[in-house]
Each structure stands twice: as structure tokens, then as C-alpha cells.
Amino acid sequence: MLEEAEKIDPLSPIITQALGNMYIFAARYDEAITQADKMLDLNPTMRISIEMKGWAIGMKGDWEKALQFFEEVHRLTNHPLKGLLGLGFAYARLGQEAKALEIIRKMEQRQEQEPGSVIDPEIAAVWFALGDLDKAFYYLGRAVDKRVGPISYFLEYPQYKNAKKDPRYKELLRKQGFGEELIESFTG
């Protein structure tokens, strides 16, 4: 349906972005990169497009190249504590644990400085990339307690597929009010 919508309005950044995200969910990374490139042709500094391209490249296995895109996203935020998720994830995937932990520290600092911001899912993602599922699920639980969007959506990104095998994932879904049949469809 999104592909049809794009044919009708090929210059819509919302449709192009949504289609690119759909391609990432479906592990169709080259197509996601194409979507990002379409938006970047219109606006070379569009952060969401740069970030999408970084995630698609990283998911294809080139976290070093993805890191370059995430550095640009962070630079474009013009804020030392924003735009850090991709950086932290890429550092972790590249085995640069100290840099990933520094990103977590900055995210926690932002959460302290801006109590209304909810950074827990992003912190969880970096812990997940570092391989610490206990801390990842701790922060995901905090996100659920704060009623941050459905965690199931967040965990649909391919990089989190192993988290769905953990029994704590089902508990998070239950805390969000999902019924057992729906939980099984997410985890089965």
C-alpha cells in the first residue's frame, strides 16, 4: 500500500520515510537505502533520511560506514546530548565498549536535564547492542512504566529479533495490556 501511495505522491517525505522504515522492518535494506537517497536528493541534511540510511547500512553489516551517518545525524542536532542512539549502537556493534558506555552516560545526562524526555528505549537499545539483556530489559521496563509507545513496535526492528526470544519480552507485552493471542503472534 505504501508503494502505491509513493506512486501517487513520489515527493512526499512522509510516505518515502514510512516506506523506507517498512523496508527496514522487512530486512530489505537496499530498498531502504534507495528510499533514504530519494529524500537526501531533495534535502541532503534531512536527519531522518541520514539516520535511516545509517541503520540500513549497519543492518547489512557495515557498522563502520553506518557510524559515519550516525556521526552526521549527531552533528546536525547541534546538541551534545541528542541524536546519540545510532552512535551508541554502532560503537557497541564495532566492539568499542568505552565509547558506547559514554553514549549511555550522555543519554542518562539528557534524561536528568530534561525530565520530560523519555530516553529509556534508546538506552535499552545501546545496552542490547552491548549484549547486556538485563540492562536492556530494565530500561525497556522503565519505558513501559512511563507509557512510551508500544515496545513491541520498537522491538520489530530486525536488530532486536533475539530480544523477542527472551521471556521478559512477553512480560513487557503483558504489562502493556496485550492479550495472550496477540503476544503469541509477536513471539511465536
* pLDDT tens readout for residues 83-114: 999 999 999 999 999 999 999 999 999 999 99
Least confident of 91-100, 106-115, 118-127, 172-181: 172-181
Answer whether residue 135 shows pLDDT above 70: yes
Q: What pLDDT score was predicted for residue 66?
A: 98
pLDDT of 114 reads 92
Give the contacts of 66 (CB within 8 A, at least 6 positions apart). 54, 55, 57, 58, 86, 90
C-alpha grid cell for residue 128?
Answer: 542490547
Q: How confident is the model at residue 185, as a pLDDT?
A: 72
Contacts of 94 (CB under 8 A, 6+ apart): 63, 64, 67
CA dihedral 41→45→46→52, nearest 10 degrees, is 80
> What pLDDT, on the 0 to 100 scale, is given for residue 153?
62
Is residue 154's pLDDT more than 70? no
Report in angstroms the alpha-carbon separations of 90 from 55, 170, 187, 188. Answer: 9, 27, 26, 29
Contact predicate 66/54, CB 8 Å: yes
CATH code matching the domain that covers 2-136, chosen among 1.25.40.10, 3.40.50.1370, 1.20.58.220, 3.40.640.10: 1.25.40.10
pTM above 0.85, yes or no: yes
